Amino acid sequence: GNVAQLVELIAELRRKDYLVVLISSGAVGMGCIKLGIKKPSNLRTKQAVAAAGQSQLMRMYEDLFSTVRLRVAQLLISQSDFMDKEHWGNVKGTIIECLKLGVVPVINENDSTN
């Protein structure tokens, strides 16, 4: 599928020594599939579904990236992380360290708390 093609492209870029950060979405959608329900309109339910889906989403990334011998790291970021200087410094530092370790950072909005 499309995600597998994206993973192949990232692997190709990494082989050419590009540093890649993957911005991801889909925790709610994955949660709906995992739980066998329609997309909820209620905020609390949506947050719970996102929490259930986030682990499924990362499992998919772990599996797909392992086929191209790459490792991933999960960063869940909220809007406030961009507003707070210290939080942003932590996010940026984590991304840089992941890249130094040869790990592809996968960034997703923290839908379970936002």
Q: How many other CB atoms are found less than 10 A from the CB of residue 72?
A: 19
Which burial class, exposed, middle or buried, applies to 86 when counting CB atoms under 10 A from its CB (0-12, 13-18, 19+)?
exposed
Q: What is the pLDDT of residues 9-38, one digit of tens each?
A: 999 999 999 999 999 989 999 999 999 999
Q: 0.75 exceeded by the pTM?
A: yes
Q: What is the pLDDT of residues 45-92, one digit of tens each?
A: 999 999 999 999 999 999 999 999 999 999 999 888 888 899 999 999
Distance CA 91, CA 85 (A): 10
Q: In the predicted model, is pLDDT for residue 96 greater than 80?
A: yes
Distance CA 2, CA 5 (A): 5
